[in-house]
Amino acid sequence: MIEVNFSILITFILYLAFMVAIGLIFYSKTNNLSDYILGGRQLNKWVVALSAEASDMSGWLLLGLPGLAYVVGVEAAWIALGLAAGTYLNWKFVAARLRNYTQISGDAITLSNYFENRFRDKSKALRMVSALFIVIFFLIYTASGFVASGKLFSTVFGLTYFQALLIGAL
């Protein structure tokens, strides 16, 4: 069993407490669902970009890409370059337009809501299909996040994978 490094444990606990404090502070500044989900559309573009990328990459960037680089070597750099190019193109050509269109089309908060409003879908078919895709793929995405947190915590804190997975899920 790995000896637990208490400096890492304390750092992790302080980080977690800091994140909870930020959440509580900004929760008190929300007045409606748009404020909560979109920051009232008042966030700096760099904050939004960093938040989106942190959410997008998560366990893949922390564990997946380095693991791939370890297995295949320098060839993994092509994936990193592709990720960087895709991210840039997304922010250059999609993000601003999507932000504007979501505001114009009834202040849509979710993509499902945006599709319904943008294309005036009275049958709610677009909303249902897009919501189904989101649920299916976010289940896979969330499962991969649990796996990444389980592997990380089991390695760092010397826990069994199951214990680490439970802590990561909390």
Identify the band that residue 17 occupies on the pLDDT scale cut at 50, 70 and 90. Answer: very high
Q: Is the pLDDT of residue 2 over 60?
A: no
Identify the band that residue 135 occupies on the pLDDT scale cut at 50, 70 and 90. Answer: very high
Complete DSSP assignment for 143-154 = HHHHHHHHHHHH
pLDDT digit string (tens) for 59-86? 777 777 888 888 898 898 898 899 889 8
The average pLDDT across 128-139 equals: 92
* Separation CA 136–CA 144 (nearest Å): 13
* pLDDT value, residue 65: 83
Tell how far CA 140 is from the center of its chain.
Answer: 13
Q: Is the pLDDT of residue 20 over 90?
A: yes
Average pLDDT, the chain: 86
Contact 105, 117 (CB under 8 A): yes
The average pLDDT across 80-95 equals: 89
Handedness of CA 18, 19, 21, 22 (dihedral sign): positive
